[in-house]
Amino acid sequence: MHFPISGVDISPLLLISLGFLVGILGGFFGVGGSFLAGPALFALGVPMNFVVGTDLTHIVGKSIVAARRHFVLGSVDLRLAAIMVLGTIAGIQAGVYGIEALKKIGEVNQVVGVVAIVVYTSISLFVAYESWKSLQIPLGRKRASSLPPAAKDKQVFRAFAKWVQELPLGPRIALPFSGIKSISIAAILLVSFVGGAFSSFLGGGAGYIRMPAMVYLLGIPTHIAVGTDLFEIVLSASIGSFEHALKGNVDVLIALIMQTGAAVGAQIGATLTQYFSGPRLRLAFAPLPLLGAGLILHTLLTGHGLK
Amino acid sequence: MTTAGDLPPSSHWRDVVAWVLHLVLYSVLLAGYFLLVLRYLAGWFAQLFHHHRAEYALFGILIMIAQAVALDSISAFILRVFRIARK
Q: Are the beta carbons of A95 and A103 closer than 8 angstroms? A: no
- What's the pLDDT score for residue A150? 47
Across A53-70, average pLDDT: 76
- What's the pLDDT score for residue A214? 87
Cα A182 to Cα A167: distance, rounded to the nearest angstrom: 10
Cα A203 to Cα A92: distance, rounded to the nearest angstrom: 10
Instruction: Give yes or no for residue B12 having a pLDDT over 90.
Output: no
Taking CB atoms and an 8 Å limit, are A60 and B3 in contact across chains? no
- What's the pLDDT score for residue A156? 57
Find the DSSP H helices in A273-304: 278-285, 287-302
Residue A141's pLDDT band (boundaries 50, 70, 90)?
very low
Query: How many CB atoms within 10 Å of residue A279?
Result: 23
- What's the pLDDT score for residue A174? 86
Helices A287-302 and A108-136, packing angle to 10 deg:
160
Best mutation target, B38, B49, B59, to test chain A (most A CBs within 10 A):
B49
Across A108-123, average pLDDT: 87
CA pseudo-torsion sign A235, A238, A242, A248: positive
Domain ranges of chain B: 10-86
Whole-prediction pTM:
0.73
Q: Who has greater pLDDT, B9 or A74?
A: A74
Nearest CA distance, B84 vs chain A (angstrom): 18
Which residues of chain A does B35 touch, with a Cβ-Cβ cutoff of 8 Å?
Answer: none
Instruction: Give yes or no for residue A228 having a pLDDT over 80.
Output: yes
Instruction: Give yes or no for residue B76 having a pLDDT over 80.
Output: no
Strands A8-9 and A172-175: unpaired
DSSP A2: E
Instruction: Give yes or no for residue B84 having a pLDDT over 80.
Output: no
Q: What percent of chain B has pLDDT over 90?
A: 15
Give the CA-trace dihedral at A231, A278, A128, A265, to 10 degrees.
-50
Cα A269 to Cα A271: distance, rounded to the nearest angstrom: 5
Phi/psi at A185 (nearest 5 deg)? -65, -30
Best mutation target, A6, A257, A260, A276, to test chain B (most B CBs within 10 A):
A260
Q: Are the beta carbons of A300 and A112 closer than 8 angstroms? A: no
Q: Who has greater pLDDT, A244 or B40?
A: A244
Mean pLDDT (chain A, rounded): 79
Across B43-65, average pLDDT: 90
Lowest mean pLDDT among A91-95, A243-247, B30-34, B52-56: B30-34
Phi/psi at A238 (nearest 5 deg)? -60, -45
- What's the pLDDT score for residue A32? 62
- What's the pLDDT score for residue B26? 67
Over the stretch A147-170, which tens digit does the pLDDT of each residue have? 444 445 555 567 777 777 777 777
* A267/B contact by beta carbon, under 8 A: yes
Which residues of chain B does A245 touch, with a Cβ-Cβ cutoff of 8 Å?
Answer: 53, 56-57, 60-61
- What's the pLDDT score for residue B86? 46
Instruction: Give yes or no for residue B20 having a pLDDT over 90.
Output: no
Contacts of A137 (CB under 8 A, 6+ apart): A154, A156
Max avg pLDDT among A26-40, A84-98, A228-242: A84-98
* A195: β partners: none
* A3: β partners: A8
Q: Who has greater pLDDT, A217 or B74?
A: A217
Contacts of A85 (CB under 8 A, 6+ apart): A192, A232, A235, A236
Q: What's the ipTM?
A: 0.74
